[in-house]
Structure 1
Amino acid sequence: MKTPTTAFNDASHSTPSNVWRLRTDAWEYLGFAAKQLSCALDVDLDRKGLRTEVGRQLGILESIEAYWAVPGEAHVRGLRREFENSGYAAALAMIEPVTRGFAHFAADLSESGQQATEHGYHSDDPQSSHSIVNDPRSRFEVLVIDDVSETVREEFIAEMRRQRRHTDEFVYDVNVVPSFEDAMVAVLLNPTIQACILRPGFTVPAAHTLGTDLRTFLDSHIAPDIGTYTPKRRILHLADKLKSLRPELDLYLVADVSIEELATLVERRFARLFRRQESMELHLSLLKGLSDRFETPFFDAVQQHSRKPAAVFHALPISRGGSVSSSRWITDMGEFYGMNLLHAETSATSGGLDSLLEPIGSIREAQELAARAFGARRSYFVTNGTSTANKIVHQSILAPGDVVLVDRNCHKSHHYALMLAGARVAYMEAYPLDEFSFYGAVSLKTIKSMLLDYRRAGRLDEVKMITLTNCTFDGIVYDVERVMEECLAIKPDLVFLWDEAWFAFARFHHIYRQRTAMAAATALTIKFKDPAYLARVRKQRATLFDTKTGQPVDDATWLATRLLPDPDIVRLRVYATQSTHKTLTALRQGSMIHIHDQDFAHHNGESFREAYMTHTSTSPNYQILASLDIGRRQAELEGYELVQRQAYLALSVAQAIGRHRLLKKYFHVLDTHELIPAQFRETTRPMPLRDGLSAMDEAWSTDEFVVDPSRLTLHIGQTGVDGDTFKHKYLMDLHGIQVNKTSRNTVLFMTNIGTSRSAVAYLIDVLVKLAEHFERKREDMGPRALQAHQRTVSGLVGTPPPMPDFSSFAQRFKNDDDTVDGDIRGAYFTSYKTSNCDYLMPNELAKRVAAGNEVVSAGFVTPYPPGFPVLVPGQVFTKEILDFMAALDTREIHGFDPNLGYRILNTAPDH
């Protein structure tokens, strides 16, 4: 069996995002093969075929394990020797400890006795092989980047191992790679790496020829002239690249010469600098770095509180389990939830724990750790969901009369928040996907056009904020950095609120991260300090303003130009609200507000505090807060692994549907081409991740909109079943599969960090069974039934009435005819007097609209699905809106009474 010289060169495993699957499957197959080959009684066994496949799988692992310390490349070489010498029992003994470790996502592989010997452990080692196997401590890997001989490599690993103590909180293993490129590949592929040690001796090219996907990705991210860099510059470039891939990693620099000079250049890239002889300090720093991320101050405080004896003489009979453990009738509550949850129930007024409203201790520390993890300047915990987080942000920034630009398709909490704040709302239209009965996102051209409309009307100073959803429920993701950059070129002090309710996980993957609010704000902060950027701005501004009058040139030029804001006048004020509980580990309603606002302290600090007080309970759920704290720990330590896994698992479902004869007859996963019109894309791949990490990176770096690959919008029109029925009857009732959103002819499936391969396999199996059911049902139909069925299918596959645009506010709630904003608060409270309102059934309403009468909605009308307000207070009814509502086949419409009809405002309200 010949060792391959090319890493990841096989087309079947050329995508770094699925290396975890290739690695797991290869080890599992080798275990199976070792068992089969050791069975001499099986005369029908295809030994030649097995050995051939064993050689192929070993070749895969020799490429992959070079980037892992455990079990590592040496272990695979030893395994190859055993297979070549027919030592199948010994091979199996080397494989089984590895495959057992994969039950824990291969993050804590224990070392067998043979591994222990190879890694330098001996019988007189303080940690014997037996204690290593049973060591309960969490393990991680440390990557060293240095081009050294095998002897020097082993000496360094042995020296670091000698520093271990039984009292260490964690255990780590060390792997050494020789080059810049190998370091980047290792950090991309191996999520168990938690720290990197850079030493000046590393080279640039990878030790092996890389596959096309990795090669393309590296070429687009490494400076083409890197070979000409001085050692110092090369070190800094590598540090920057490693941090861009995995910002949570701790970086350390070990050098013998000019360490004092290097210290002046690193600019906080490294946690610490060392000389080569300081192995003990390096060891302690590695442990301390991980300990800092492992720390959960509030979760720990709640645990400690629950263990203290106490006598309760305040509210909360349930505290310490008092009202439960003494009950004859509700003991099952304690049995179901567990006494730890009841023992942790307490109040801030009881002492021992911090206050959410005035945090000075463990909650404050937990929020500071969250800010670090999510790349924010400030982070705040919210215990009653992102609906409340949105209300807090809106109220803290807006005063009555401020104009806010809002995606009309945003979550209903924004509409209610704007009404409460008294803001004047200017609704922007997202591009419609009429065929599937939902919206996409708001184009940058639409946003810029509206800002320019307000500038032309002389009202730009009234525009305070823009609110957008990123990513949308259906997975459409904005180019956040570009949107903010171009908007700030028109309105330098514009405040941004990005509703990232479904996007909290994105921070923890290098491609996703670039399209998050906090990462984009950081990137713009760096840009605005770059002299070269300022020079580009000066050059562009000369073309955008008349040199004689100083006034802006025509709007068409501004719309056609990729605008750059002036760093001298811009104020970067960015807020993001996230439903942590939706995409990361947290209890229901656990959310966060992340802030990157350079004017927060002197412009918004007090108003934010008051808004937070307004909407936050004085009796917050401490279990929710504790879950936010420990969920942050998980995201920092293993988020990268889990996020890339969830994206690949979704892709595997899409591929299974596309390849299966019967599945693709009845189901179709909508791709980028179907969800994003061509004018918003520069790339052409329908599913970028399917074509590799580099393809996804290209799309996410260039296209105006992209699709989150962890979301699958499944078109089900060919089944003849609408989305709501498919969800309840076929998925939930029959098979226990839970989904959140449907449209007339689609069902949205989302993978998350908790999704397993077995869950994905179950979903595919269920879809196959359903396809078989629909096929049998179709085969049993007579001619007339088949014709009726085909009419139903045509109705679901065809295009219904177009999604209605926002019509307009009634004249009495508008400011003028040149701009679109309206007084939603005024309209809302007008309806509080019953004499101001009436009800109309749809047919009578349609007659009045057809006659040219202005009929005005008194409230919000929100059908589920699609889940956005079709009407808001003060909005004018139109024929298009009524046609759309008539065509909807949905059981739930908030704001519409089937017995009374629509609530409308009278023409002459009673003031």
Structure 2
Amino acid sequence: MTRINASHAPLPTANIFGGPDALGGNSLIHADVNSAALITHPASGSGHQVPEATLERDPGMPASTWRLRSDAWEYLRFAVKRLALAGEGEDALAQDGEVPRSLRALETIEMYWAGFGQRYVAAIGELLEAGDYKTALDRIGRVVNRLRADISDEPREEFMDAEERAERVGDADPRPRFEVLVVDETTEAERDATRAEGLRLRSAADTFIYEFVIVPSADDAVAAILTNPNILACVVRPGFTEHTRQRLSRDLAESVQIARSEVAPGSAPERTSLASVQRVLGLADTLIALRPELDLYLMAGAHIEELAGATTRRFRRIFRREDQLELHLTLLRRVSHLFDTPFFTAIQDHARRPVGVFHALPIARGGSVVSSRWIRDLADFYGLNLLLAETSATSGGLDSLLAPVRTLKKAQELAARAYGAKHTFFVTNGTSTANKIVHQALVSPNEVVMVDRNCHKSHHHAVMLTGARPAYLEAYPLNEFAFYGAVPISRIKQMLLDYRAAGRLDEVRMLTLTNSTFDGIVYDPERVMAECLAIKPDLVFLWDEAWFAFGAFHPVTRRRTAMASAQRLEQRLTTDAHAIAYREQQARLFDAEGNPASDAVWLHERLIPAPTSRVRVYATQSTHKTLTALRQGSMIHVYDQDWGREAEEPFHEAYMTHTSTSPNYQILASLDIGRRQVELEGFDLVQRQLDLATSLAQAISRHPLLRRTFRVLTAHDLIPEENREVGRPMPLRDGLSTMWEAWRTDEFVIDPSRITIEISRTGVDGDTFKHEHLMDRYGIQVNKTSRNTALFMTNIGTSRSAIAYLIEVLVKLAEKFEDTHTQRDPDHTRAITEAIDLPMPPLPDFSSFSDGYATDGVLPDGDMRAAFFRGQRRKYVEHVLPDVLWARVAAGAKPVSAGFVTPYPPGFPVLVPGQVITPEILAFMRVLDTREIHGYDPVRGYRVLLEETPAVES
């Protein structure tokens, strides 16, 4: 008999977060020779055991547990089906080392998922050992069907008695399912009793169904919520142990260690003499930090009163063990709160309600459409519900966006909870408008706004509208790829120090940065804000997170979102350890007379803000770009300690200034239901998104033809060495723990969901590659290209099939390009290659404001508003063709731009009103291959302010 060794000892180095795809024929997991399974080969004699060959870990195909688990079960089904149906014998099983490896990996994984479990895997192993392949195939098929169709066999049915089987709900039950983690050291019989009790309490009237995942230790609890996105609640019983007895993979073990180290022991304000209570508090703080969407419950017996006094902030409720029914009802009730979409539900109710329309909006209720002989196809295409839901706040029945008091107010409060904000506001005309709202609310004329030179044009327009003076910060250039990176913290600090030295620090009001950038470069907002507040304790921050809304729903990416960073910074400022560290640093930064040390000292130190600093943080997000929402659906998130005192009234005034009195209710409804989605399954969706992007990058890097044609740009290409510490080119490719470490320590990191490939060897520029090859020929849509790069982005809607199709298209294009190069005349090929290899002109920095608009000629800020409005008057402006302008500049003239000149995408201006036009800017514009350039007329040229006209007051 063939022994497959699916024993109860899991594989010591099961690579739960990494490893190649089993269906591709490689190993699912990494096993060294010492831990390899032992296989008995009948042909070699009884008892002769041969260790498996060492399996080298493939460093490039990431597999989060959802994928590893799915692939392992799929492979088992494929392999056992051959044995059960094709008649292949024991030799085939013995020769397939993937079967025991998959079983051992699953025995570790299934501990952290409800529905089947470790005993189920072990039982399949025993069936295979006994040669009962058909029964094993049936058991495996049930798991695969559940994974594919999201339906559930009840957990461990083969271990249930007749009464339990009679109570089970059918496979086709359509009710949404979630899982509940129970942390307690229990026996197998106690775990079965807990699950049976959950089944007994289940009712046909319940809206949702849940199942228990029961783990014995704090380590296992952290592992479960890192690997199983279906867990929405956790019940902690004080009897748990600290450390796991599972032999976890290196990556998972390191991830658990990092997660548990994130929360310092004893940092909580509550104090208790009970060590068991401290253990409970520590675990609760860790789980909340990792997945704040989880609801935590405590189930205890002794000392329940003292526990209640110390744990209120962490646990929603405390139960005694006999309160199983109350726990059951609470779990269902709480998930119903997450499921609630007050505004979307109100829209549905309105659409179903018969009304008579004696109001505006002829399209409402379909009145002007369904009776028309000419536009009925509008209803055919979009559906009648779109028309039935069209209405206005003034018609009654639905809440008003400008003065919400019911469903919209509640929907925005739920969104604030989901994103970790103190307040959230819906915006129906994009993040461009959201940015203008925040600028107007927080900035007054002649105040200085430090702003990334390469931020979206809406920030530049907002500064102009408010009358603030922009002080432009320069991002590091990536000249080889014709786009910019991000602004190093050293440059931000230096500018603040320059304003302090000039006696103008009080004029600096706000810092605005883009996180993440269009190309996926992500800041460390907590560090940026902390070091800036150390120089100016009342600085306000606006983070443009147009492309980073999804970041709030993954334990690693969340730490670099504005809201999570603000919350951590606020908590840190209140600790005794922070106060001590601040006092110690002040002794190094100031001498005995209170004079500051040199700028070099301030730039070298990682500055610590005063405990009295104010945390005032705003984030704008294009929800529609990365999460589920209709086009132009955006949000503003607020974490401002001075909101009520300083910002609330001006914010509402700015909100009314820029928000339509006729907002699109369908956009608002989509924001509401999109919030439901990310609270209930955001972690799962974002993890898949990151994995698929990394798979794409690895497929391009490993495919012989693709890597000859394309090059995936990594952190080594996009981030200067001095701005990163971990040093890995693509950290997630090495596992979650490596990515986590980089996101904890590096100044900049790359969003793994954004893959930039360098395409010089194709022989075409980025714009041609995008339009003529990807879009026109194969329907592949990409958002951004540069002269020699193309940016591919995964999102929460990306599928593995879509990734496979893209790879297929890239292979076809690579073959086409290679064939073209082969057939071309060598001299022609050489000429094209030399043309492609010509270096791009250096990316231009902001030159300066002209003398007429610069504030003092020393610091970089200027009066852009005055220049803009002068540029709106025809008598003060001339149009100059590029060659003529070039000649003027070469002769020593300093022409001044009359308006914004903005290539789109990416959408940041190369010129702003009042800026001096330099040779570097003209050289860059001359070779720019973007088809759409706002503010530039290809027939008449640049708009330039007439030289003889003096500047005027704004």
Give your verdict on TM over 0.5.
yes
Q: Shift in Å at residue 8 of structure 1? A: 4.7
| Counterpart residue number, 2:299 | 254
| Counterpart residue number, 2:53 | none
- Cα distance per residue 1:206-255 (max 9 Å; x no partner): 12111111222223333599899922111111111111111101111111
Distance 1:846 1:273, change over 3 A: same
| Counterpart residue number, 1:122 | 163
Matched to 1:697, the amino acid is: W
Q: d(CA) in 2 for partners of 1:838 and 1:655?
A: 52
- Cα distance per residue 1:621-668 (max 9 Å; x no partner): 111101101100110110001111111101001111111111000101
Distance 1:645 1:832, change over 3 A: same
Distance 1:281 1:602, change over 3 A: same
Mapping for residues 194-205 of structure 1, pairs under 5 Å: 194-205=232-243
Query: Which of the residues 577, 580, 604 maps onto 2:620?
Result: 577
Distance 1:741 1:794, change over 3 A: same
Matched to 1:186, the amino acid is: A
Give every structure 1 segment of 4 or more consecutive aligned residues whose post-TM-superposition deviation is greater than 6 Å.
224-229
- Cα distance per residue 1:313-339 (max 9 Å; x no partner): 111111111111111111111111111
Contact 1:226 1:234 in 2 (8 A): no
| Counterpart residue number, 2:818 | 775
| Counterpart residue number, 2:202 | 164
| Counterpart residue number, 2:67 | 21
The yes-or-no answer on 1:220 pairing with 2:258 is yes
Identity %: 58
Contact 2:895 2:917 in 1 (8 A): yes
Q: Shift in Å at residue 675 of structure 1? A: 0.1
Q: Shift in Å at residue 788 of structure 1? A: 2.5
What's the Cα RMSD here? 2.0
Mapping for residues 796-835 of structure 1, pairs under 5 Å: 799-835=839-875
- Cα distance per residue 1:567-621 (max 9 Å; x no partner): 12x1111000000011111111100000001111111111111110011011111
Query: Which of the residues 898, 904, 908 maps onto 2:938?
Result: 898
| Counterpart residue number, 1:858 | 898
The yes-or-no answer on 1:565 pairing with 2:565 is no
Query: Which of the residues 733, 738, 746 maps onto 1:703?
Result: 746
Matched to 1:339, the amino acid is: L
Q: d(CA) in 2 for partners of 1:120 and 1:645?
A: 37
Distance 1:446 1:91, change over 3 A: same
| Counterpart residue number, 2:798 | 755
Mapping for residues 709-724 of structure 1, pairs under 5 Å: 709-724=752-767
Contact 1:7 1:63 in 2 (8 A): no
Contact 2:164 2:196 in 1 (8 A): no
Q: d(CA) in 2 for partners of 1:284 and 1:294?
A: 15
| Counterpart residue number, 1:877 | 917
Matched to 1:631, the amino acid is: G
| Counterpart residue number, 1:175 | 213
Distance 1:409 1:32, change over 3 A: same
Q: d(CA) in 1 for partners of 2:773 and 2:573?
A: 53
Q: Shift in Å at residue 164 of structure 1? A: 1.3
The yes-or-no answer on 1:843 pairing with 2:848 is no
Distance 1:712 1:16, change over 3 A: closer
Matched to 1:5, the amino acid is: P
Matched to 2:927, the amino acid is: A
The yes-or-no answer on 1:484 pairing with 2:529 is yes
Tell which deviates more after alignment, 474-483 or 213-222.
Answer: 213-222
Matched to 1:153, the amino acid is: R
Matched to 2:659, the amino acid is: T
Q: d(CA) in 2 for partners of 1:292 and 1:422?
A: 44
Tell which deviates more after alignment, 865-874 or 493-502.
Answer: 865-874
Mapping for residues 539-554 of structure 1, pairs under 5 Å: 539-548=584-593, 550-554=594-598
The yes-or-no answer on 1:35 pairing with 2:81 is yes
Contact 1:386 1:592 in 2 (8 A): yes
Mapping for residues 409-558 of structure 1, pairs under 5 Å: 409-548=454-593, 550-558=594-602
Query: Which of the residues 169, 175, 180 maps onto 1:142?
Result: 180
What is the DSSP-based 3-state SS (H/G/I as helix, E as strand, rest coil) of the residue aligned with 1:201? coil
What is the DSSP-based 3-state SS (H/G/I as helix, E as strand, rest coil) of the residue aligned with 1:882? helix
Contact 1:7 1:64 in 2 (8 A): no
Q: d(CA) in 2 for partners of 1:476 and 1:506?
A: 13
Q: d(CA) in 1 for partners of 2:88 and 2:381?
A: 50
Contact 2:437 2:655 in 1 (8 A): yes
Distance 1:865 1:585, change over 3 A: closer
Q: Shift in Å at residue 74 of structure 1? A: 2.4
Tell me the number of residue pairs that the alignment of Structure 1 and Structure 2 aligns. Answer: 898
Contact 1:398 1:423 in 2 (8 A): yes
Q: d(CA) in 1 for partners of 2:128 and 2:250?
A: 30
Q: Shift in Å at residue 274 of structure 1? A: 0.7
Contact 1:16 1:188 in 2 (8 A): no
Q: d(CA) in 2 for partners of 1:374 and 1:585?
A: 14
Q: d(CA) in 2 for partners of 1:50 and 1:754?
A: 39
- Cα distance per residue 1:686-715 (max 9 Å; x no partner): 111111111111111111000001100011
Matched to 2:602, the amino acid is: W
Distance 1:760 1:49, change over 3 A: farther
- Cα distance per residue 1:530-567 (max 9 Å; x no partner): 0111111111112222322x232322221111111111
Q: Shift in Å at residue 867 of structure 1? A: 3.5
Q: d(CA) in 2 for partners of 1:889 and 1:503?
A: 27
- Cα distance per residue 1:418-471 (max 9 Å; x no partner): 111111111110000000000000010110111111111111111100100000
Mapping for residues 272-287 of structure 1, pairs under 5 Å: 272-287=317-332
- Cα distance per residue 1:41-76 (max 9 Å; x no partner): 569x97235654322221221111111111222222
Matched to 1:372, the amino acid is: R
- Cα distance per residue 1:234-289 (max 9 Å; x no partner): 11111111111111011111111001101111141111111111100111111112
Q: Shift in Å at residue 195 of structure 1? A: 0.8
Matched to 1:441, the amino acid is: A
The yes-or-no answer on 1:240 pairing with 2:285 is yes
The yes-or-no answer on 1:403 pairing with 2:445 is no
Q: d(CA) in 2 for partners of 1:599 and 1:521?
A: 13
| Counterpart residue number, 2:131 | 86
- Cα distance per residue 1:388-425 (max 9 Å; x no partner): 00010001111111110000100011111111111111
Query: Which of the residues 393, 399, 405 maps onto 1:360?
Result: 405
| Counterpart residue number, 1:9 | 14
The yes-or-no answer on 1:388 pairing with 2:433 is yes
Mapping for residues 280-429 of structure 1, pairs under 5 Å: 280-429=325-474
Matched to 1:718, the amino acid is: R
Tell which deviates more after alignment, 314-323 or 491-500.
Answer: 314-323
Mind listing any 5+ residue stretches in structure 2 that lack a counterpart? Answer: 20-28, 31-60, 267-272
Query: Which of the residues 765, 781, 790 maps onto 2:833?
Result: 790
Distance 1:614 1:323, change over 3 A: same
The yes-or-no answer on 1:655 pairing with 2:693 is no
Matched to 1:558, the amino acid is: W
Q: Shift in Å at residue 40 of structure 1? A: 4.7
The yes-or-no answer on 1:612 pairing with 2:652 is no
Matched to 1:505, the amino acid is: F
Contact 2:630 2:670 in 1 (8 A): yes
Contact 1:478 1:704 in 2 (8 A): yes
- Cα distance per residue 1:836-874 (max 9 Å; x no partner): 111112222122222222210000111235532110000
| Counterpart residue number, 2:51 | none
Matched to 1:445, the amino acid is: S
Matched to 2:488, the amino acid is: S
Q: d(CA) in 1 for partners of 2:688 and 2:811?
A: 23
| Counterpart residue number, 1:97 | 142
What is the DSSP-based 3-state SS (H/G/I as helix, E as strand, rest coil) of the residue aligned with 2:472? strand
Mind listing any 5+ residue stretches in structure 1 that lack a counterpart? Answer: none
